[in-house]
């Protein structure tokens, strides 16, 4: 009887260990630990990620800014009394600043 209980516990333990091993492999823990053991590689990868994020931020801000200026220009062309004057003034200021810079 005790043998059967021990065998059952051992079998249950083996199944749980296999599940845990599979979960760790799926989570790529080994690669993560290896990355932390090699600081140069980690710095290099973080540097590349930083460049990519900065480039994406610059491109995204440029697109959103251009879209914003385009929409403001379209609203200004509608000749709305108060809003149109305000937007037209902001658009003129931006265009003058862009024309001044080389």
In this prediction, residue 7 carries a pLDDT of 82
Q: What is the pLDDT of residue 1?
A: 60
Residue 35 has what pLDDT? Answer: 79
The pTM assigned to this predicted structure is 0.47
Give the C-alpha separation, 51 to 83, whole Å.
39
**47 to each of 30, 40, 42, 51, 53, how far by Cα in Å?**
22, 10, 8, 6, 10
Q: Residue-wise pLDDT tens for the chain (102 aa)?
A: 666 767 888 888 899 999 988 887 777 777 778 878 888 988 998 999 999 999 999 999 999 999 988 887 787 777 767 776 777 788 888 888 888 766
């Amino acid at each position: 009887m005790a043998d059967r209980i021990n065998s059952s516990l051992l079998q249950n333990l083996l199944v749980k260990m296999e599940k845990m091993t599979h979960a760790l492999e799926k989570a790529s823990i080994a690669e993560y630990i290896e990355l932390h053991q090699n600081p140069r590689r980690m710095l290099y990868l973080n540097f590349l990620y930083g460049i990519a994020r900065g480039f994406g931020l610059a491109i995204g801000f440029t697109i959103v800014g251009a879209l914003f200026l385009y929409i403001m220009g379209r609203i200004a062309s509608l000749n709305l009394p108060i809003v149109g004057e305000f937007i037209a003034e902001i658009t003129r200021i931006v265009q003058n600043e862009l024309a001044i810079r080389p």
